[in-house]
Structure 1
Amino acid sequence: MSASPFEHPYLSGLLGDADMAPFFSVEADCRAMVDFEVALARAQGGSGVIPPDAAETIAAALAGFSPDVDALAAGTGRDGVVVPELVRQLRKAVGRDAAAFVHVGATSQDVVDTSLSLRLKPALAILDARLAAVTEALQALEDRDGDIEVMAHTRMQAAIPVPASRKIRSWRDPLVRHRARLDVVSAGVAILHFGGAAGTLEKLGDRASDVAQRLASALGLKPVDHARHSERDGIAELASWLSLVTGSLGKMGQDIALAAQSEVGEIRLSGGGGSSAMPHKVNPVAAETLVTLARFNATLLAGMHQSLVHENERSGAAWTLEWMILPQMITACAAALRHAQALVGQIAIRPLKSGADEAAAKDGRS
């Protein structure tokens, strides 16, 4: 076991995701935070809050900035957030008179939350593309095997024969609906977080709105009419969406694992996991992993809903909880979609057998 199976040297082969991990690396986070500070300086230079030449000095000095990560760790342990130490390093890198114009009017939460927004945009684009790929693969499976008659099961008992398309659509259609919801979910998190000490941008006076508009435009984020430092419904909605996706994939994985049992044989898998003791086995590893990841995200969702409780204008406790939970939920969702696409490509649906299955069908109709 590991404290972080998503990054573990070998557990990550099952639970991690190589495409998603870079968005939650220290390099990506620091780069996004520096991008915020550079864009802020330029926005303020354009609005006359700071001298324009100071803004360009800041941008030039930070173009190749590389932080002292050990110092960031020590600073975070001391301050509870990385930004005070990061800003100290940025000002040192800028040097001379322009250093005083780094981070003007901003607060730590502006930097951390906007960094997350910047990284969530490409991360959600990957999830969207994978959702599309899984739904297309399920449609192809239905086109090929949808007319095959299989046994429906209600309450784990054989019910009546149904076309395989009945089962496949119960896997695909929720994913189609989740993908349709993603635009709204993305709009709730791809926003600029910029409010200053208590969300009022009081240090920028009547130039606050202009700076915010310029900053949002430069970063490619949506401006909002006031900072959402303690309004976390957008983040919680994303967490709910992630759990819905993995939950629907978990339902599919559970169905496939049951149908692929040796005694059932309704589905044959062309690939699977081996056993150290029983070399004849082909274990439905991908299907089982979908169930695991669904249950994992379902348990974490409660924690993300706890993080909605931000006291007053900012909460260190609720905010930190988000940092611990959300990256894991996103990585779990990415891994589930990766496994799901591979799993659908391994499925061959087998027709109903005669004899016992027909008797079970008759019992189900009686």
Structure 2
Amino acid sequence: MLEWQLMQGSFSSTDMRRIWSESSTISAWIKVEQTLARVQSDAGLVPNEAVAALDGFCIGKLDQERLRQDMGLVGRPIVGLVRQLREHVGKDLAKFVHFKSTTQDIMDTALAVQMKLGLATALSDLDQLVSSLTGLIEAHPETRMIGRTNGQHAIPMLLRTKFEVWRAELLRRREVITEAERRGVLVQVGGPLGDLSNYENGKGAEVKAGMAEALGLNAAEPHWQNARDGVADIASALGGLCASICKIAHNINLLSSSDIGEICECHENGKGASSSMHHKRNQRTSEFAEAVARLGRQRSEQIGELTLHQHERSGGVWVGEWVVVPEIFLLTSGALSWAMRMLADLTVNEVRMAEKIA
């Protein structure tokens, strides 16, 4: 469903799909391989000729059908990619491609690059949500409505208080995401066991630091091949954001019901139409914001299972990340997209609010 031309726009944003597309992911692997060679060259480990030759490669030169066949045989995509990269640079320079590296180094570092881009996109959208709520607060400084607790009328309250609570919650979600990014957007340079044992004379630490700087990533010591808490922090932070969006959207949908009718989406011909009940104007943005955010939150809960690595590395859980992490980002972007539309289209019926208080 996330890939259907008909439906994908309902579950994810164009920008986030671009970040996590197959083409972008493979390009990220290539970029990491090229950056590794460049940094190793700076450390005196790889000749400049190898760097120049490797920089001439791009996804347009990749035989993707061959890569798929290699993936089906090996179970890891980097083996086939490296084979094609080595053929591209030629026999004399081939040994300097993927030099002293391992598959997880490349894929984890590329994942960190993609997560950084995805978080920047999500935070930008979140800032727009906060801005919309600020606008609603300023537009309704004294509007009063009936408060509701346990599904029952309580006492009158300011509408702005409801919006202020939502805004404060989203700002806290922003802080959590920013902190998770610091802990989870990490370079992975370590070789077969992550411990840089295939480097000599401190060159491994130099390459690791150089890769982090070149790609704008942080670093963890000694490594995080089997320590997935950083990825889990990011996934959980996005799940928390989805939970907040789900709650807000659900409440807006409730307030939009025929029985309450205190808030509604701006009307547009055909918007929210029913195929059988032509009098209805269904609240589609809050409906989709709730649904997609609910999916994002549920998907994020799977990340805990994928932190349970055995020994130094465990493919049985690592492979699961390949599906779960991108989908969390995609669903979060969809929830944010609907929530932005929801708040931008919100109409407050002050007359109905006053009637409930009277």
- The TM-score with structure 2 as length reference comes to 0.94
Q: CA deviation at 1:6?
A: 2.0
Q: Matches of 2:164 and 2:183 in 1, distance apart?
A: 29
Measured against aligned partners, the alpha-carbon deviations of 1:49-83 in whole angstroms (never above 9, x if no partner) come to 223333333333x2575322222222222222111
In 2 relative to 1, CA 14–354 (structure 1 residues): closer, same or farther, beyond 3 Å? closer
1:18 corresponds to: 14
Deviation at 1:250, TM superposition (A): 0.7
1:276 aligns with 2:272: no
Runs (5+) with no aligned partner, structure 2:
none
When residues 350 and 56 of structure 1 are mapped into structure 2, their CA distance, relative to the original with a 3 A threshold, is: same
Question: Does 2:119 match 1:120?
Answer: no
> Which residue is 2:44 aligned to?
48
Q: Percent identity?
A: 29
Q: Which moved more, 1:39-48 or 1:345-354?
A: 345-354
Q: Which residue of 1 aligns with 2:350?
A: 351
1:203 partner SS: coil
Q: C-alpha separation between the residues in 2 aligned to 1:186 and 1:355?
A: 44
Q: CA offset at residue 146 of structure 1?
A: 4.0
Q: Which amino acid aligns with 1:343?
A: M
Tell me which residue corresponds to 1:227. Answer: 223
Question: Offset of 1:184 from its aligned partner?
Answer: 1.3
CA distance in 1, matches of 2:348, 2:250: 15
Please state if 1:162 is matched with 2:161: no
1:250 and 2:251 correspond: no
SS at match of 1:48: coil
Matched position secondary structure for 1:111: helix
Which of 209, 214, 218 aligns to 1:213? It is: 209
Q: In structure 1, what is the Cα distance between the partners aligned to 2:195 and 2:29?
A: 21
List structure 1 runs of 4+ shifted beyond 6 angstroms.
none
Output aligned runs, 1:1-366, within 5 Å: 5-60=1-56, 62=57, 66-206=61-201, 207-271=203-267, 272-351=271-350, 353=352, 357-358=356-357
Q: Does the C-alpha gap of structure 1 residues 355 and 201 become closer, same or farther in structure 2, counting only changes over 3 Å? A: closer
Given that 1:45 and 1:51 are in contact with CA atoms closer than 8 Å, whether structure 2 keeps it comes out as yes
**Amino acid of the structure 2 residue aligned with 1:299:** Q
Following superposition, the deviation at residue 352 of structure 1 comes to 5.7
Check whether the contact 1:148–1:350 (CA below 8 A) recurs between aligned residues. Answer: no
C-alpha distance in structure 1 between counterparts of 2:317 and 2:121, whole Å: 27
For 1:57 and 1:102, the matched residues in 2 are separated by 10
Deviation, structure 1 residue 29: 1.1
Inter-partner Cα distance in structure 2 for 1:59 and 1:355: 67
Q: Distance in 1 between matches of 2:280 and 2:152?
A: 25
Q: Specify every segment of 5 or more residues in structure 1 that has no aligned partner in the other structure, as ranges.
A: 360-366
Q: Is the 8 A contact 1:49 1:204 kept in 2?
A: no
2: CA distance between counterparts of 1:323 and 1:334? 18
Partners of 2:11 and 2:353 lie apart in 1 by 39
Say which SS state the counterpart of residue 159 (structure 1) adopts.
strand
Native 8 Å contact 1:149 1:164 kept in 2: yes
SS in 1 for 2:198: helix
Tell me the secondary structure at the aligned position of residue 15 of structure 2. Answer: coil
| Count of matched residue pairs | 354
**RMSD over aligned Cα atoms:** 1.8
Q: Alpha-carbon deviations, 1:144-171, whole Å to 9, x = none?
A: 1242111211111121111101211222
Q: Which moved more, 1:46-55 or 1:76-85?
A: 46-55
Counterpart of 1:348 in 2: which secondary structure?
Answer: strand
Alpha-carbon distance between aligned partners in 2 of 1:99 and 1:353, rounded to the nearest angstrom: 73
Name the CA distance, whole Å, in 2 between partners of 1:22 and 1:13: 12
Cα 1:162/1:227, change in 2 over 3 Å: same
Aligned-pair CA distance for 1:287: 0.8
SS of residue matched to 1:198: coil
Secondary structure of the residue aligned to 1:204 is coil
